Each structure stands twice: as structure tokens, then as C-alpha cells.
A = this chain, B = another copy of it.
């Protein structure tokens, strides 16, 4: 009878334990979890702070007892693996309640220890008002502080996914929230002009944003709060500080085990999620995964991939077949107040860093038929290869229908599909759900037009240089829209009048055309090109993207 040991009882570990049992009714399966809970809803924790999820029990998906009953798995909580001994196939375990140390042997070992939030070594950082959110006890502490009414003002350090979710959930409890982020933008996994839309939403909802800013220290204030000192000299008072600056893998206990770790301590696995040592597998936040675009290894701690890896590891441990994990492209989404912000695949930053040739476009479309009540605009950025025409990545921001478009693009990337394929996707259309041409089709059309040479495209960050080099700025929106604000120096000729006013335009300089979102600009570009204004480019995403990107 095989004996399987699993270290870590949350996403990947519990997913693997359940699958292993379903594959093999008779083996012995032991899960070791150093915390007091297994299989809890870790992605739901911020929403329990915000009281969106009001019943704490909803967060507890399984208990050791329920898992034993259903899957006949020996789940031990407060059980910390402190050392692995591959030579004699055993793990040393510490019972955290009694301090007792004991050994457990294994035939196969699965490492799913996950990660823990990083605590920076900033002076004053151990003050009790300064928290991280990762486990249920973390959440209990933070919620207790929020519930007590003693927190008037909170500071979130780090503008990643958890930071933003926490900022929102603390804010909706009526607490003033400041958010400090070292980078010039929140959410470093999206490009700046998309992050700019998020900045607007955060400010609109009363989040005080401090970008390009570091925390240099915390001073204790009388009454339980702290004064956070920023690198710029500013300081912010807070009764609650939430640190969300990153996660490090919980792999310290593997030191000396001979199990190969990466530069930042993540476990190195092959495509079958095997470590370098026989019968030892790993999955979840603590491993390095392959990037499908570059083939390079890196850590991408996300719940979806962790759960899927757990199942694959179980299949390989059991030997049902050699199942492969094909990599993580980094699909992610966050709710930020009324917005959803989603990303999949490559971003511009990534393509530049990795020297991947790319083109990008931005389109704005209604999430469903404009004439059906409740239509809202989504901003859709697509990256694609000018060589292979393949889809490389997408970022979508909007109120509704964001997750749908991200999932479709993620599927298209997985299927190695091209921008031409996007134009042909036969989506589900009725007015409450989409338009006859879905935003996915539309962004495919735009990309196709660029690749087919029908229109020149310029992105928001190229406008200044084009103007400096003498480009003629042409706003083809209506006079009313023009009067309400345009790009400085622009001349207004509405697209519907353009054919009659061509003589006004200079033929000897480049013409930079723009409208609100890019559609009229494209039509105008085609008119101009046909009339010999061959050096003409359309502003991708229009003045909407330009203004958002420039914080206007």
C-alpha cells in the first residue's frame, strides 16, 4: 500500500489529495498543514474584511474531519514539516501545539507549502497595527480591528492584487484609506495606460494614492496608531497598516534536503511537476513554472494554476499517465470598486523586456449592444505578433464583461490563435450579452487592419514625440466634443465633414488623427490615405486612452 505525504493543505495540496484518493482508494494519504485550517477560501479573505462575505463559516470549505469522511485522508493541522530526508524517504514533523517532533515516512512526497507575505525590514515594522493578510487568523485580526471602530485611517503598502482588494474592502467599511506604491503605477502586471484607469477609479472612491513612493519607517503614535514615513518626506498616520508587497515561498525547511531551489527559493520542477529528487513532486505558489512565451522559469503565485497543478501532480504521482503542466501565462483579474481589471498573456513591458516583437492596439466597445439598457464601455488592449499574427496577450478594464473577454483571449492564446481568428470567433450574441460584433471580434479587426497595412497606428505615449517632430494634430470628433477638451494644438474637423475640407490639411507633414476611442479616427485615416495623405496615423484608443494615461 503506497503512502503519500503532502506538505501544505490549501489549494494545490488539497486538490492533489482529493484527486489522489479518487485515483487510488487504498493508498495512505497524509496532509500536513502548519496552520489551523485547510482548504479555506484564501481568495475570499479580503471580502470578509469588507463584510461582503459576512459569515466566516463560508470561508471554511473543508475541515480535517469533513475531508477524512469524504476522502479518507489523514489531514493534520498545526503540523509543520521541518525537514525532508530524501535518503530515507521521511519527513520530520513538528506538532505546533505540543512542540513534539516525529517522523513520517513516504513513498511519494508532494510539496505544496505555498508562500507567505514578505515583511520588509523597515524600522518600526513590527508594530502591532502593521498586518499582512494571508491566513484566516490574519483576517480575523484585521476584521476585529475594523469592526472595533478604532481604525479611522488605514494605509495599504503595495498596489498589487491583494493590496487593491484590501484597499477597497477597508474603504467600504467607512475607513479612510491611503495606498502607497513604489512603482509609478498599481498592478505591475498591466501596462501604464490601463493602470491609469484603475488610478482614476481608486481616487474616485476616495483612496489616497501615493505612487513612486516608498515607506522608510513607522513611528509609534500614542493611541495605537503609527506614523508611516515616506521616502519623499511625506508621512501618513494610520491605525491599521496592511503590508502587501509580495510573497516568498515557504521553502526554508527544504534547506539541506538536496531538493533544487531557484534563485528566490522556489522549488524547481520539470514539466511533470517532479523535483530533482525521485518520488518528490511539487506544486502551487512555491514552485517555478515555465512561461509559455519565453520558456523561462519563474514564480507566478495564482490560485487557478495552483489548483490545476495539484491535480496534475496527483496524476503523475499515481502514474495514471504522464500529465504535463504546460506553463502559466499569468491570467489574472481583480475587482476594483466598480471596475474589473483583467490581464492574460504578455504585456508591453514583458515583450520589451524579453525582446518579443509585438504590436499593440486599444479599442473601446460597449460590453453589450449599446441600445440595450445597461451597456458600459470596456477598454480592451491587445498585443499580437507582427510576424506570426498570433495573439500574445490582452488587458481589459471595465464594469461588466471583462472576465469574459479575458477568458476568450486566454483560450485563444492557448489555442495558438491569430488576430484573424479573433475576427471569426462565433460568440454568443443577443443584445443583453454582446453585440453582433463582439469586442473580441472588434479588436481582431483593428489588429488585422494594422497588419494588413490599412491604417497606421500610434499609441498614447508616441503623441508628444510626433508633435515635437511636426505632426499635424487632427481631432475628428464633433465640435461639441472638441470644445469640451482636446489635445493641445489639435485642429477640429469632424469626420463627416473631412471629405469637404481636405484642402485645409498640410500634405507635407505627418497627420496624427484622433477621436474619442479610435473608430472615427480609423475612418478618417482611411479617407486621408485615399486622398494622398499617406503619412497619417490614428491614435490607438483615442483621446479616452490618452487622457487616462496622462491622468486627465
Residue ranges of A at the interface with B (Cβ–Cβ < 8 Å): 11, 21-26, 41, 43-44, 47, 52-53, 58-59, 61, 69-72, 161, 165, 302-308, 311, 320-321, 326, 328-335, 340, 342, 344, 369-373, 402-404, 406-408, 410-412, 414-417, 421, 423-434, 436-438, 440-441, 445, 452, 454, 495-496, 499, 522-523, 526-527, 530-531
Contact = CB atoms under 8 A, between A and B. Distances in A.
A170 to B, nearest CB: 17
Given A407-B427, A414-B421, 7 more contacts: A24-B530, A302-B429, A304-B438, A403-B404, A411-B425, A414-B426, A415-B421
A308 to B, nearest CB: 7
Interface centre among A70, A303, A308, A428 (most CB of B within 10 A): A428
A342 B402 CA distance: 19
Contacts of A47: 372, 431
A430 B334 contact: yes
Contacts of A369: 41, 43-44
Contacts of A21: 526
A499 B152 CA distance: 54
B52 A429 contact: no
A548 B402 CA distance: 32
A346 B552 CA distance: 49
A342 B499 contact: no
Given A369-B43, A496-B70, A530-B24, A425 B430 contact: no
A499 B72 contact: yes
B417 A344 contact: no
A307 B436 contact: yes
Contact of A52 (B70, B334, B344, B373): B373
Nearest to A303: B436
Contacts of A44: 369, 371-372, 431
Contacts of A404: 403-404, 407
A433 to B, nearest CB: 4
A4 to B, nearest CB: 15
B454 A428 contact: no
Contact of A495 (B70, B304, B416): B70
A441 B311 CA distance: 12
Contacts of A421: 414-415
A304 B436 contact: yes
Nearest to A412: B411
Contacts of A425: 407, 410-411, 414
Contacts of A427: 304, 331, 403, 406-407, 410
13 contacts: A53-B372, A61-B371, A308-B423, A328-B426, A335-B433, A340-B432, A344-B426, A403-B434, A404-B407, A407-B438, A408-B411, A411-B417, A415-B421
A323 to B, nearest CB: 9
Among A21, A53, A404, A530: residue with most chain B CB under 10 A: A404
B433 A403 contact: yes
Nearest to A427: B407
B411 A428 contact: no
A340 B317 CA distance: 41
Instruction: Pick from A59, A332, A371 the residue with the most CB of B within 10 Å.
Output: A371
A344 B428 CA distance: 8
Given A372-B52, A410-B426, A25 B530 contact: yes
Nearest to A61: B371
A23 to B, nearest CB: 7
Can you list the 4 inter-chain pairs with the closest CB atoms, starting with the nearest? Answer: A415-B415, A25-B530, A333-B428, A404-B404
B436 A69 contact: no
Given A369-B43, A436-B307, A403 B415 contact: no
Contacts of A304: 426-427, 429, 436-438
B372 A424 contact: no
A438 B434 CA distance: 21
A333 B330 CA distance: 30
B433 A333 contact: yes
Given A70-B495, A308-B441, A430-B43, A414 B415 contact: yes
Given A58-B371, A305-B426, A452 B320 contact: yes
A61 B71 CA distance: 58
Nearest to A433: B403
Nearest to A405: B407
Contacts of A311: 423, 445
A495 B69 CA distance: 9
Contact of A371 (B23, B59, B334): B59
Nearest to A430: B333
Contact of A303 (B41, B320, B342, B429): B429
A288 B57 CA distance: 56
Contacts of A71: 523
A525 to B, nearest CB: 9
A431 B21 CA distance: 27
A23 B454 contact: yes
Nearest to A455: B22
Nearest to A26: B530
A210 B47 CA distance: 46
